[in-house]
Amino acid sequence: MNKFEIHIATYSDCKKLAVLKREVWETTYRGIYPDNKINYYNFVRNEKKFKNIIANPDQQLYVAIYNQELIGYVEFGKPIRPFRDYTQEIGLLYLKKEYQRHGIGRELFHLAFTHIQNSGSNKFFISCHKYNQNAQKFYEKMGGKIVEIDSDSANNNLPQIKFAYSIYK
């Protein structure tokens, strides 16, 4: 595989980010999320969410590009949904299925880790859907320790596992 590149997301990336998110939902969350959540995914609303992330000084969003195609992204910074006393989180880490297991997810993770470390924080967390087994294995491989598991609910897009990471300086 040729070299991919990572750069900070721009507003012009947001439409592609919304499309990529929907594609990842289809390949990862079909059978986990309710079908209606995926079938009626709102591209315009999600494009706006990405623009809001870029506009928020407390968050950072980076994209991974391969052969001029947007293939993944990572968002990190101040938690969108606060958790315990954590001041930093990796909120989103998405990568197209066909590009997984090539080191790209690891690079996106380490980019976020380094930025969080440089911010002066000594810990952060990641939320992962409890039925997304591949993501759980990845976050464990990256050194995460499970600190909380949500109960199942009628709305199956909610149950999360929280992974905590310590940063030693």
Q: pLDDT band for position 157 (50/70/90)?
A: low
- C-alpha span between 84 and 82 (Å, rounded): 7
Give CA separation, 56 vs 40, 42, 52, 145, in Å: 27, 21, 6, 28
pLDDT value at 1 more than 60:
no
- C-alpha span between 4 and 67 (Å, rounded): 7
Residue 99 · residue 108 · CB < 8 Å: no
Helix (H) or strand (E) holding 8: strand 5-8
- What is the mean pLDDT of the segment spanning 133-154? 92
Pairing, β 89-95 against β 123-129: parallel
Torsion of CA 129, 147, 99, 88, to 10 degrees: 100
Residue-wise pLDDT tens digits, 83-96: 999 999 999 999 99
Domains and CATH numbers, the chain: 5-166 (3.40.630.30)
Q: What is the pTM (predicted TM-score) of this model?
A: 0.94
So what's the pLDDT on residue 152? 81
Among 14-18, 47-51, 75-79, 159-163, where is mean pLDDT lowest? 159-163
Cβ neighbors of 18 (< 8 A, separation 6 or more) are 43, 44, 46, 47, 49, 50
Average pLDDT along the chain: 94
How many secondary structure helices (H) and strands (E) does the chain include?
A: 5, 7
